[in-house]
């Protein structure tokens, strides 16, 4: 557990040099001294909030970096990391004095302080984007940044309370989980405890006092357990083993108390006992000895040696009933595993040019690549930042392909997430899955050790309903991209039809005008990139076909075309209307009430929705919802203005689909009660099992108005067990 001292003495340059020389005798110490002189000169006029010279901060950051045992280039970057942002020094100055490698590291850490953003959230997201870009090119960037944040957190008491809260929350949300994913266990614990201290000061103070008191009271017990473990290890002939016990960090204890709703005196495993041996085989030998000595608690054993965490953490964890019947946690690992557990990526750092990792290490941190891919695809900074938090915080579940390939996914992931983890095409065509040779619904939440086989179909496409249960950002991103592409294609087709129809009023056609320059000029005038984008915007309803036609033809061209096209349409429509038989209520056609009409089954419009009418060959007005795809086939028919009348009679036929959990007692009764409470008769109901294992319920009834349909939908959606309600159109 990290020591949280308020008045710790700032370390010096001499101590820094000694620390670096101890682990890296060949380091260029003169380069480090020159970096210190450069930083000291440029920061000399500046003071920290506590009144100390500012240069003490970069020196302290360099000490934290040195504790990670990094190379002299990274030490120099730590000393210089604030010079470009906070002093007159420039990037070019750093290149001239220290070379491009160190200057690049400093640039990666430098904040985007000179760019104006629309919000704090956007600034935070953009800062993180830049850090990711630099981090993907040289992992040392994030190590310096974490060291910088750690020292800022150690001296946070000198800032105003509101700033303390903001910085502590950002540290808890982003930097502590980031340290965890990089395997920096000691740094992660310290950042969490420091954040805890400022986010919940009273609770932290109370817990710290209680833990320290409890440790003093249990000192004899801790010593007794350590002696007994040493005894059984020694008797087994395992030499050189280190045995110790230390308390878990405060934030971990706090979370356990909240999770289990217990007080500190009930947290028996607040102290973790650790056994460090030389060889991996000795880890399992010691585990067997511990289990022979004390009874293990079922479900509390984890083998992170056989299945390491993505950050390369390896250890055996077991909880047993120790002396006096008290539960104790024992962690067993080798010395090499312990170095990785404490120092993470820095513990197996290869001093290669450009900060590159060896291939086997790079594969362990491919999540950095995933973050890099995602940051390019989010327009909304807050959405991107939330996806990062999900990726950093997620507890992992270990799953396997039928061939034994390991796939590590966030806890709560489904077969669809698994499919997208294999390949985007596999995810897009996923129609089902088997887990441990049993068919499961796509909503099934995967568990550790599950063997997953994806069932594919060439007719399957990503479903927007998948967004309700997929867990990984990759799956969500690919599904959204497909839906967006599909919607764009539909908008393009509809826009072409609407625009072509409008242009024909002026004796033009879309095909002919695409060969000229009028539409290109219209797109440019409307600040659109291309004619295709112009057509898409018409299809989406963001632009009207009439406005685009006027923009393309100009006032003179429109007037000329209108004059040439004046003819019989209005007269012809009037004659048709006069011929048809009228009936009361319903729809008003071209200002006349009671004209014979039919409601199109393809879109089933109801009062409250915008509608359009077409005179069919049988002299009947066919009423469609505006935007209905079937109206494209009626292009040759006469269009008339139609509006809803004052009376809807008994209503208009509609159908809705309600997706629910299967086998929920009384749910069907609750759904039908929604209709009866609203005095709506159900004309027909069909209930069946959907392919994903849920229940699909289709109800047909008559709605008098869109508002009535909305009320029905909302009431059904509020029922427990209902996943979604959608409109069904023939």
- Residues designated as active site: 85-86
Q: Which helix (H) or strand (E) holds 655?
A: strand 652-660
Q: What is the largest CA-CA distance in the chain?
A: 109
How far apart are the two ends of the chain, measured CA to CA in Å? Answer: 65
Token pair listed for 549: 């036609």
Residues 713, 656: contact at Cβ < 8 Å? Answer: yes
* CA distances in angstroms from 650 to 588, 621, 681, 705, listed in the order given: 17, 20, 10, 10
Token pair listed for 455: 């069932």
Token pair listed for 714: 């909302």
Q: How many residues does the chain have?
A: 730
Q: What does residue 279 show for φ and ψ, rounded to 5 degrees?
A: -120, 155
Residues 296, 317: contact at Cβ < 8 Å? Answer: no
Angle at 685 between CA 684 and CA 686, to 5 degrees: 130
Q: How many CB atoms lie within 10 A of CB 209?
A: 11
| Closest to 418 (Cα-Cα) out of 392, 395, 397 | 397
Query: What is the rounded distance in angstroms from the CA atom of residue 588 to the CA atom of residue 644?
Result: 6
CA Rg value for the chain = 34
Residues 473, 520: contact at Cβ < 8 Å? Answer: no
Residues 180, 190: contact at Cβ < 8 Å? Answer: no
Query: What is the rounded distance in angstroms from the CA atom of residue 228 to the CA atom of residue 91?
Result: 59
DSSP conformational letter for 156:
G
Token pair listed for 554: 């100009």
Non-local CB neighbours of 685 within 8 Å, separated by 6+ positions? 672, 697, 698, 699, 700
Query: What is the rounded distance in angstroms from the CA atom of residue 8 to the CA atom of residue 150?
Result: 14
- Sign of the CA dihedral running 49, 50, 51, 53: negative
SS (H, E, C) 175-196: HHHHHHHCCCHHHHHHHHHHHH
DSSP conformational letter for 353:
G
Q: Where are the beta strands (DSSP E) in 313-405?
A: 316-321, 327-334, 396-400
Tell me which residue has tokens 């086939």: 633
| Closest to 417 (Cα-Cα) out of 389, 394, 393 | 394
Q: What does residue 315 show for φ and ψ, rounded to 5 degrees?
A: 180, 160
Tell me which residue has tokens 């609203």: 678
Query: What is the rounded distance in angstroms from the CA atom of residue 375 to the CA atom of residue 388?
Result: 9
Token pair listed for 587: 């729809």
Non-local CB neighbours of 338 within 8 Å, separated by 6+ positions? 276
């Amino acid at each position: 557990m990290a020591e949280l001292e308020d008045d710790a003495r700032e370390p010096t340059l001499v101590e820094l040099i000694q620390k670096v020389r101890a682990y890296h005798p060949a380091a260029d110490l003169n380069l480090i001294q020159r970096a210190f002189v450069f930083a000291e000169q440029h920061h000399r006029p500046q003071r920290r909030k506590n009144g100390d010279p500012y240069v003490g901060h970069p020196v302290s950051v360099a000490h934290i970096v040195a504790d990670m045992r990094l190379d002299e280039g990274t030490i120099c970057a730590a000393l210089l990391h604030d010079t470009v942002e906070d002093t007159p020094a420039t990037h070019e100055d750093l290149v001239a004095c220290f070379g491009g490698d160190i200057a690049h590291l400093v640039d990666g850490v430098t904040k985007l302080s000179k760019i104006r953003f629309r919000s704090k959230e956007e600034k935070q997201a953009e800062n993180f984007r830049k850090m990711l870009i630099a981090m993907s090119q040289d992992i040392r960037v994030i190590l310096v940044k974490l060291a910088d944040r750690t020292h800022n957190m150690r001296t946070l008491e000198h800032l105003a309370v509101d700033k303390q809260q903001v910085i502590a929350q950002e540290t808890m949300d982003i930097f502590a989980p980031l340290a965890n994913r990089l395997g920096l266990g000691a740094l992660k614990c310290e950042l969490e405890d420091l954040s805890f201290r400022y986010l919940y000061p009273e609770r932290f103070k109370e817990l710290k006092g209680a833990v320290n008191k409890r440790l003093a009271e249990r000192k004899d017990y801790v010593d007794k357990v350590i002696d007994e473990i040493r005894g059984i290890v020694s008797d087994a002939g395992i030499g050189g083993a280190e045995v110790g016990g230390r308390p878990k960090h405060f934030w971990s204890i706090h979370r356990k108390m909240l999770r289990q709703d217990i007080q500190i005196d009930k947290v028996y495993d607040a102290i973790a006992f650790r056994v460090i041996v030389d060889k991996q085989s000795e880890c399992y030998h010691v585990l067997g000895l511990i289990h022979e000595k004390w009874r293990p608690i079922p479900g509390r054993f984890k083998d992170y040696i056989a299945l390491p965490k993505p950050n390369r953490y390896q250890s055996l964890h077991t909880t047993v009933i120790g002396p006096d019947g008290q539960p104790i946690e024992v962690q067993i690992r080798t010395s090499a595993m312990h170095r990785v557990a404490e120092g993470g990526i820095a513990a197996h750092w290869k001093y290669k040019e450009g900060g590159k990792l060896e291939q086997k290490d790079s594969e362990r941190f491919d999540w950095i690549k995933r973050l890099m891919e995602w940051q390019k695809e989010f327009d909304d900074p807050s959405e991107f930042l939330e996806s990062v938090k999900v990726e950093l915080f997620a507890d992992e579940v270990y799953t396997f392909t039928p061939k034994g390939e390991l796939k590590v996914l966030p806890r709560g992931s489904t077969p669809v997430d698994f499919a997208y983890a294999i390949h985007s095409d596999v995810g897009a065509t996923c129609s089902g899955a088997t887990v441990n040779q049993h068919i499961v619904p796509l909503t099934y939440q995967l568990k550790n050790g599950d063997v997953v086989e994806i069932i594919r179909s060439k007719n399957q496409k990503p479903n927007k309903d998948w967004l309700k249960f997929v867990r990984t950002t990759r799956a969500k991103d690919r599904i959204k991209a497909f839906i967006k592409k599909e919607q764009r294609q539909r908008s393009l087709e509809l826009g072409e039809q609407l625009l072509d129809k409008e242009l024909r009023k002026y004796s033009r056609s879309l095909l002919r005008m695409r060969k000229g320059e009028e539409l290109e000029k219209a797109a440019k005038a409307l600040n659109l990139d291309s004619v295709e984008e112009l057509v898409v915007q018409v299809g989406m309803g963001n632009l009207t076909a009439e406005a685009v036609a006027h923009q393309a033809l100009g006032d003179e061209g429109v007037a000329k075309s209108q004059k040439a096209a004046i003819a019989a349409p209005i007269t012809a429509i009037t004659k048709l209307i006069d011929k048809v038989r009228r009936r009361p209520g319903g729809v008003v056609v071209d200002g006349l009430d009671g004209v014979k009409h039919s409601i199109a089954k393809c879109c089933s419009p109801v009062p409250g929705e915008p509608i359009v009418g077409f005179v069919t060959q049988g002299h009947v007005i066919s009423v469609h919802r505006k935007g209905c795809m079937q109206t494209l086939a009626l292009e040759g028919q006469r269009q008339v203005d139609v509006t809803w009348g004052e009376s809807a009679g008994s209503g208009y036929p509609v159908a809705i689909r309600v997706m629910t959990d299967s086998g929920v007692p009384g749910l069907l009764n609750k759904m039908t009660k929604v209709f009866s409470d609203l005095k709506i008769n159900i004309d027909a109901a069909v209930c069946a099992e959907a392919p994903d294992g849920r229940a699909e319920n289709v109800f047909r009834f008559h709605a008098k108005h869109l508002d009535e349909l909305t009320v029905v939908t909302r009431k059904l959606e509020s029922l427990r067990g209902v996943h979604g309600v959608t409109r069904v159109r023939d």
